[in-house]
Amino acid sequence: MARLDTDRFPLKGPLLAGLGVALALIAGVAALTWLAGGPAPTISASADIAGQPDVLAAAEIEGVRSAPFGDEEVEDVSLPGVRDTADALNAADPDAQPVAPATPQAPPAPLPGLYENGPGGPLPVISASGERPDQAYARDFDGAENVPTVSVIVGGLGLSQSLTERAIEVLPAEVTLSFAPYSDNLQDWINRARADGHEVLIELPMEPFDYPNNDPGPHTLLVDASTQENTRRLVWLLSRAAGYTGVVNYLGARLGAAQGPMTEVFTELEARGLSIFHDGAGRRAVLEQAGRQARARMTLADRVVDSDPTPRAIDGRLLELEALALQNGSALGSGFAYPATVDTIASWAEGLDGRGYQLAPASFVMQIRNPVEATSIASIETQNGADDDHSPSDDAHGDTH
């Protein structure tokens, strides 16, 4: 009969043993609690963190602190807790840059006394004290005149956002940038380029030989236009923005071969204190003579670097500029903001100092070739008086058409 009861309850022995162990543990805990002088701890399945908000919500971040999993000290261990991660990282590194840094500020323009109201905005003028806009807006450059100097003008900017952004960001600040007058947000582009350290020019559309099939725009300066009409167009172009140190031609081979109208344009530009850069389209001898007659601060580019817009050809032209700078003291190149042009110029410029040359803004080469002291207000007034003595037939374009 006893054997029968054991078969029906096979776990009776182990259960009784387990119950005995549990009673022994409870007795042990109670004894320990009595010896420690406090109540028994409460055992719970969930951790109550409500009573610890200060510790979890504001873990202090220090440059050097104990490692979370060891006794040795390590650097830059950050425990931001439940604060925003970006705030914690900024607190850990006070020198960290903000996610969206402020846009650099361009030098102010227009400057007081250097403009008058024009049809499209501020129109540059020489100040009452004789300060010229091409001096006021030129990029500061601490170069030496006895070092072979190369300057490069990259143009066609403002019409394509991607090309303009790339030119501003990739090209060295010593490269001068020229902007099309018809660009949307022209002043914003100029401000951005100047904030990045670039000197800027405005492009003047001039009549090419195949005009109007090749039409540079509604304010193109024309060979057959009257003096008044070309002046009206020129004033509109110059009042499109502020902060530029001078102008550069866009196209203009036909106008560049017409000494009469070219002299008129140069005279107006000089009277406003602007430097004139020309890529040589037309006849160089005519352009040089027009510059002398206008007593203008004018210089011609020695090379168009991307007449063949392939990297190899561009690099060859840049090497020619180096040779000319070594021979003549300075060299001026011009080009368009083709991707190949921008990339090749940027790569070439990286090693220029090591080859014994200096890359300078275009205004620096202008100062070497045509110092501002050589063009005084008195000479401008004398030239204007001489122009008044010209008869209408003298202003005719004659055989330059």
Tens-digit pLDDT profile for residues 179-217: 999 999 999 999 999 999 999 999 999 999 999 999 999
pLDDT band, residue 325 (cuts 50/70/90):
very high
- List pLDDT tens digits, range 77-113: 333 333 333 343 334 334 444 333 345 788 999 999 9
| Range scoring the smallest mean pLDDT among 97-106, 140-149, 283-292, 375-384 | 375-384
Domains and their CATH numbers in the chain: 137-380 (3.20.20.370)
Residues 6+ apart with CB under 8 A from 364: 138, 141, 143, 149, 151
**pLDDT value at 351 more than 60:** yes
Which amino acid is it at 118? Answer: G
First-last CA distance in the chain: 139
3 state SS of 58: coil
Task: Please state the φ and ψ torsions of residue 73, each to the nearest 5 degrees.
Answer: -90, 140
pLDDT above 90 coverage of the chain, percent: 65
Q: What is the pTM of this model?
A: 0.69
Give the pLDDT confidence score for residue 88 in this predicted structure: 32
Number of separate helices (H) and strands (E) present in the chain: 14, 13
What values do phi and psi take at 78, rounded to 5? -110, 130
Query: CB-hemisphere CA count at 13 Å for 293?
Result: 19
Would you state the pLDDT for residue 369? Answer: 95
pLDDT band at 375 (very low <50, low <70, confident <90, very high): very low
Specify burial of residue 170 (Cβ count, 10 A radius: 0-12, 13-18, 19+).
middle
